[in-house]
Amino acid sequence: MSGEHYDVLVIGSGPGGATIAARVAETGKRVLILERGDFLPRERDNWNSRAVFGDAKYTADETFYDLHDRPFRPELHYYVGGNSKVYGAALVRLLPGDFGEVRHQDGIAPAWPLSYGDMEPYYVRAEHLFWVHGKHGEDPFAGVSSKDYRYPPVRHEPRIQQLSDDLEKLGLHPFHLPLGVHLTQDGHGRATTDSRCIRCDRVDGFPCLLGAKADAEWAVLRPALAARPNLSLMTRTTVERLVTDAGGRSVAGVTVILPDGSPHTFTADVVVLSAGAILSAALLLKSASDRYPHGLANSSGMVGRNYMRHNNLALIAFSRAPNPTVFQKTLALNDFYGPSKDWQYPMGHIQMLGKSDDWQLKGAAPRALGWAPSAPYSEVAGHSIGFWLTSEDIPRADSRVTLRPDGAIKLALQPGNNTAGLTRLRRTFQEVLAKLGMADTTFMRSLYLHKAFDAAATAHQAGTARFGTDQASSVLDVQCKAHDLDNLYVVDSSFMPSIGAVNPTLTIIANALRVGDHIAELIGTSGPA
Ligand SMILES: Cc1cc2nc3c(=O)[nH]c(=O)nc-3n(C[C@H](O)[C@H](O)[C@H](O)COP(=O)(O)OP(=O)(O)OC[C@H]3O[C@@H](n4cnc5c(N)ncnc54)[C@H](O)[C@@H]3O)c2cc1C
């Protein structure tokens, strides 16, 4: 292995890394992905709520430190496919307005150096690559799409269809949540979207035992590795630092720890970093040298700053009518996304949660449930409908990733950042639920929210190496190349100058395709797109 040189090295195999590696490999050039994790085992526990949520079996054994230097375990997953192994596969485009400057009560979400129109063709490709099922045109607040989804939307089950009808009667505009899942009657992951796997309520938060969820492993890596001998993947290989050449303008080597514990250095013409927004920033800071004492690519001092992660809330509504829905996560609502006549600032996005089971409700069951004070949790769960409310977090220079003197990662998340939008959104939606006879017993499911350690909610991390045209205030240029270096790109969610209020992954994938096209052209042949 020693002395091996690649055309392109990609660090991390999540949606960003897997997508760009597969795209660049279409050129026939030699591409190597370095991934610290292994393949996630396919086993019964994949769908065991207690193992997944209670024991955090698949969560990385990692310790970060918060603003006050208290240790916590972040919500990270080190596997082939990255965090998409457990994601909810809600693959939603940012709204056109998100690409411009957005005024919030607590500050400004800055404009991107690209418009929705620039990103639109890549959104189409991303939707097709990650098997997205949906229907463009249903959501009047969404941007236009030049092509439809490849698959029709996942049907609402009767209780959710009823909710959709009821919301429409109130003048709202529910739409089918775009989802990267193949749901089948027989559960073998084939694309028959008018039916669903009988017991498949295990998407959001769970690894998919069947490979029927469009995570980065199943949607991209497996097909690309099978089709392209010039693409390779090294698992259990952790990148320790990036080393520059004598001139300091190129990454000359990527130092790793191999699975047997020995160090090794790979070289490549182009290096793409996609380790996730927190770990990519940490790796750049860790790669400080005499030439770059404040960290690699950090002449702006912006590496690690402007960390965002969404303001989220899981809301469970109870009604006396049972909710027998199996796969609940099919509906979404953008009616409160922008400013309204009652409030001049944006509120955010609403989508269904996966169905809560008895284990997930334990510890959070509502005392207010007078009709079922001692009911078993399974019975309580059978009457619940869950919603996921998201409002925009805004970048702050002091919400940041740094390294402590002992080398550990400190994630200083400033409290109360633009939470007024989320509070408004909750109140407004609770009023809507009240009109549907569902509000008086709402409470918040705490499992996803990491109440004890707020900073641990790292699922939607972004912003730590933002792109832009001004070298003094951004780390990357518009092609996501580091301003300071000629051959280093970053394509995880670090590049985002603002995060909007929808799930980030479709935008990460679309951007990785965009940057992948650019690199493909740069290294000699653009190959098929
Ligand atoms: C429970 C949960 C639910 C979610 N649901 C949704 C959803 O429904 N929709 C949505 O859009 N998003 C969702 N997300 C977020 C989504 O998973 C992330 O946005 C996405 O995975 C980010 O992709 P990425 O490629 O930027 O990084 P990651 O997925 O974080 O991948 C980074 C990879 O880099 C590897 N790595 C890190 N450091 C090193 C190193 N030093 N050397 C080698 N390899 C390294 C990691 O092991 C990992 O595989 C969810 C996340 C969670 C946790």
DSSP 462-525: B-TT-B-S-TTT-SB-TTSBBTT-SSEEE-SGGG-S--TTS-SHHHHHHHHHHHHHHHHHHTT-
CA–centroid distance, 82 to ligand 1, in Å, is 4
For a ligand 1 pocket test, name from 35, 61, 83 the mutation site with the most ligand atoms within 8 angstroms of its C-beta: 83
Q: Which segments of 26-115 does DSSP mark as H helices, in order?
A: 49
The protein residue whose alpha carbon is closest to atom 48 in ligand 1 is: 82
Q: Which two tokens stand for residue 430?
A: 């609770």
Neighbours of 21 (CB within 10 A): 31
- Atom in ligand 1 nearest the alpha carbon of residue 279: 38
Provide the pLDDT for residue 384.
81
CA torsion angle 156 158 161 167 (round to 10): -140
Q: What is d(CA 24, CA 523) in angstroms, rounded to the nearest whole number?
A: 9
pLDDT digits (tens, 9 = 90+) for 145-200: 999 999 999 889 899 999 999 999 999 999 999 999 987 544 444 434 444 444 56
Q: What is d(CA 215, CA 202) in angstroms, rounded to the nearest whole number?
A: 14
Provide the pLDDT for residue 223.
97
At 457, the amino acid letter reads A
Residues of the chain with pLDDT under 70: 1-3, 184-200, 356-381, 439-453, 526-529
130: left (phi over 0), alpha (psi -120 to 50) or beta: alpha
Q: Is the dihedral of CA 501, 505, 506, 512 positive or negative?
A: positive
Provide the pLDDT for residue 193.
43
Q: What is d(CA 275, CA 401) in angstroms, rounded to the nearest whole number?
A: 14
Q: Residue 389 in contact with residue 422, Cβ under 8 Å?
A: yes
Neighbours of 137 (CB within 10 A): 11
* Closest listed residue to residue 214, CA positions, set 121, 44, 39, 88: 88
CA–centroid distance, 15 to ligand 1, in Å, is 7
Provide the pLDDT for residue 313.
85
Provide the pLDDT for residue 325.
86
For a ligand 1 pocket test, name from 13, 61, 84 the mutation site with the most ligand atoms within 8 angstroms of its C-beta: 84
Q: Which run of H or E residues covers position 443?
A: strand 443-444
99 burial level (CB within 10 Å; 0-12, 13-18, 19+): buried
DSSP string, 336-352: TSS--SS-SS---EEEE
The pocket around ligand 1, CB under 6 angstroms, is made up of 11-17, 34-37, 75, 78-79, 82-84, 86-91, 204-205, 238-239, 274-276, 279, 283, 459-460, 492-493, 503-505, 508
pLDDT digits (tens, 9 = 90+) for 358-403: 555 554 444 334 334 345 555 566 778 889 999 999 999 999 999 9
Q: Which run of H or E residues covers position 273?
A: strand 263-273
Provide the pLDDT for residue 456.
86
Neighbours of 261 (CB within 10 A): 6
Q: Which two tokens stand for residue 29?
A: 């050039």
CA–centroid distance, 171 to ligand 1, in Å, is 36
CA–centroid distance, 173 to ligand 1, in Å, is 30
Q: What is d(CA 226, CA 96) in angstroms, rounded to the nearest whole number?
A: 36
The protein residue whose alpha carbon is closest to atom 50 in ligand 1 is: 87
Provide the pLDDT for residue 198.
44
